Amino acid sequence: MKSAIQILQDEITPYTLGVFWITPSPLTKDTPLTREFDYFTNGQISNFLKTKSPEEKKFTKNIFIQKSFGEDTFICHLQDVLSERAESLMQLKSLIDSVKTERNELVLINTTSHDYSLELKKLYPKLTIRCIKI
């Protein structure tokens, strides 16, 4: 059986613009996949968790940018907060729409009961949304 890091290495391709990583709780060192995504961001996540105030650590959305295949690729952690779903996705849409690239895939890793793939497909009809389970 493949490890989480192996699955991510297989799934993040030269066509991947970014990853939506959605969990039911705020980002902490104990959030599932934190260690694996920290690897992909060259330690940005662990550095964020070490240096930010307790209030900043409670943010419900965090975005990390790293180079992948020579281009900026984002990893966006979202805490699933019902009252913030639409606003969070719209804020990220303006950021993603500003990126001029040929890449056409978004990867969704969702550990919540809400189906975010439907909203992402509506927001990004020209992009392929790939949902993966780890």
Return the structure tokens found at 73.
């690729």
**Whether 134 contacts 33, CB under 8 Å:** yes
With a pLDDT cut of 70, the percent of the chain lying above it is 99
Residue 57, domain extent: 4-131
Query: How many domains does the chain fold into?
Result: 1
Report the pLDDT value the prediction gives residue 75, as an integer from 0 to 100.
95
Mean pLDDT over residues 49-66, rounded?
Answer: 83
Q: Dihedral of the CA atoms 75, 80, 85, 91 (nearest 10)? A: -30
Is the pLDDT assigned to residue 40 strictly greater than 70?
yes
Chain center to CA of 27: 11
- The predicted pLDDT at position 105 comes to 95
CATH no. for residue 38?
3.40.220
10: number of Cβ within 10 Å: 10
